[in-house]
Copies of this chain bind each other. A is one copy, B any other.
Amino acid sequence: MANETRELTVELGDRSYPIYIGSGLLARTGQLFAERGFSVKSPVMLVTDASVEGLYAEAVEKALSDSGYKVTTAVVPSGETSKSLEMLDELVGVALQAGLDRRSTVIALGGGVVGDLAGFVAASYMRGVRFVQIPTTILAHDSSVGGKVAVNHRLAKNIIGAFYQPEFVLYDLDTLASLPMREVRAGLSEVIKHGLIWNADFVSWCEDNVERLLGLEPDALGYALYEGCRVKSIVVSRDERENDLRAILNLGHTIGHALEAVAGYGVLAHGEAIAIGMIGSARLATRFGYDSEIEVVTERIFRKFGLPVRIPEGIATEEVMAAMLHDKKFLEGQMVFVVPTAIGSVEIRNDVQIEWVSEIVDGLREGN
């Protein structure tokens, strides 16, 4: 049934929250606010970006005002550069002028950029007000679970932030129809990642359902997003503050983040960069003596989804390696890597040799 709404709870004790995944959900925003007892006396701020605003802001505004809420919409430019302290400053100004108080709610309507930015605004405005996520990209299934919010610094991505959980997440599949195809593929890369670290059956299912997923068929998409969120939520529930287990979610991200940084933010989409990164990690698995099937399956699935499997031209290995050494995943100067041990399972290794990584990066360059 295509119109079923799936519900999932992210278990985090008194910070637990539900994720609703389905069609026609935007129109239910006001009702969900009322059910939770959010006071209509405290104004709401809706944060969105310039591309999403024209498509979906009105539906959310209407749903809220129909339920008696006063909403102020703040629009930021689309793209990663909006994840900045300048934009935080700006949004806090809007919130103050709109009279947001300690019982107010900040809503993120958009992709991961808007989610991370608005989430950090919610976490720090008056030292924390309510936060609601309405993701409109596939990649944002990832940022909807786990409460990591952040902005970037000129020298590093996601370096200024907090762990801050939303009250609930409203994932309306209808909004995904307007996503550019490139964003669809990039988002699915992170969905597949959740399979690769935890659930081999789901990886097979994704391989078998490439066309349905790329075609945004609601039932397939709803299931895939549910499963992606579910895996992440299991991991996050066991390790909210990223002390140990949560690190497995970084599969492909050490190389991926470095590629993003070197290519210049925006050149490689996040999901594209980590697809290449995951292939790198799979090659590392081969070096450690694990089954070479891992490498074969990993590369094959990303190819099927039309994701890049090689580093674009013009990116030097040394630059990638230098960027990696700035990465916050390097604890006390030691290299920490997530390495697959099979499809559907990974381990954390701190005995990875820098030369191996550098050789693998080199081997992944276009033409090699």
Interface on A for B, CB 8 Å cutoff? 39, 41-42, 85-86, 88-89, 92-93, 96-97, 99, 101-103, 123-128, 148, 150, 153-156, 159-163, 241-242, 326, 328, 330-333
Q: Within 8 Å CB of A162, what residues of B?
A: 123-124, 127-128, 162
Most buried by B among A89, A97, A127, A161: A127
Alpha-carbon distance A124/B149, docked complex (angstroms): 10
Shortest beta-carbon distance, A34 to chain B, in Å?
Answer: 16
Question: Could you say how many copies of this chain the assembly holds?
Answer: 2
- CA distance in complex: A125, B120 (Å): 12
**With A127-B148, A159-B125, A331-B103: A153-B89 Cβ-Cβ less than 8 Å:** yes
A101 near B328 with CB under 8 A, answer yes
A103 to chain B, nearest CB (A): 6
A328 touches B161 (CB 8 A): no
Question: Among the listed B99, B326, B333, which residue makes an inter-chain contact with A41, where contact means beta carbons less than 8 Å apart?
Answer: B333
Closest to A39 in B: B332
Asked if B153 and A92 make an inter-chain contact with CB atoms under 8 angstroms apart, the answer reads yes
Contact pick for A127, options B99, B125, B150, B331, CB 8 Å: B150
Q: Would B126 and A159 count as touching, CB distance under 8 A?
A: yes
Which of B88, B93, B150 is A155 in contact with, Cβ under 8 Å? B93
- A123 cross-chain contacts in B, Cβ below 8 A: 162
Beyond known contacts A89-B153, A99-B333: 20 more, CB 8 A cutoff: A39-B332, A41-B332, A85-B89, A92-B153, A92-B155, A93-B155, A96-B155, A96-B156, A97-B155, A101-B330, A101-B332, A102-B331, A103-B332, A124-B124, A125-B159, A126-B159, A127-B150, A127-B163, A128-B163, A162-B162
CA distance A331 to B103 in the complex (A): 7
A331 shortest CB reach to chain B, Å: 6
A41 neighbours in B (Cβ, 8 Å): 332-333
CA distance A288 to B96 in the complex (A): 32
Closest residue of chain B to A96 (Cβ to Cβ) is: B155
Q: How far is the CB of A74 from chain B (nearest CB, A)?
A: 15
A-B contact pairs, 13 of them (CB 8 A): A41-B332, A42-B332, A85-B89, A89-B154, A92-B153, A93-B154, A96-B155, A99-B333, A103-B332, A124-B160, A126-B159, A127-B150, A128-B163
Q: How far is the CA of A161 from the CA of B126 in the complex (A)?
A: 7
Chain B residues whose C-beta falls within 8 Å of the C-beta of A242 in the assembled complex = 127
Distance from A207 Cβ to chain B, minimum over Cβ atoms (Å): 34
**Distance in Å from the Cβ of A71 to the closest Cβ of chain B?**
16
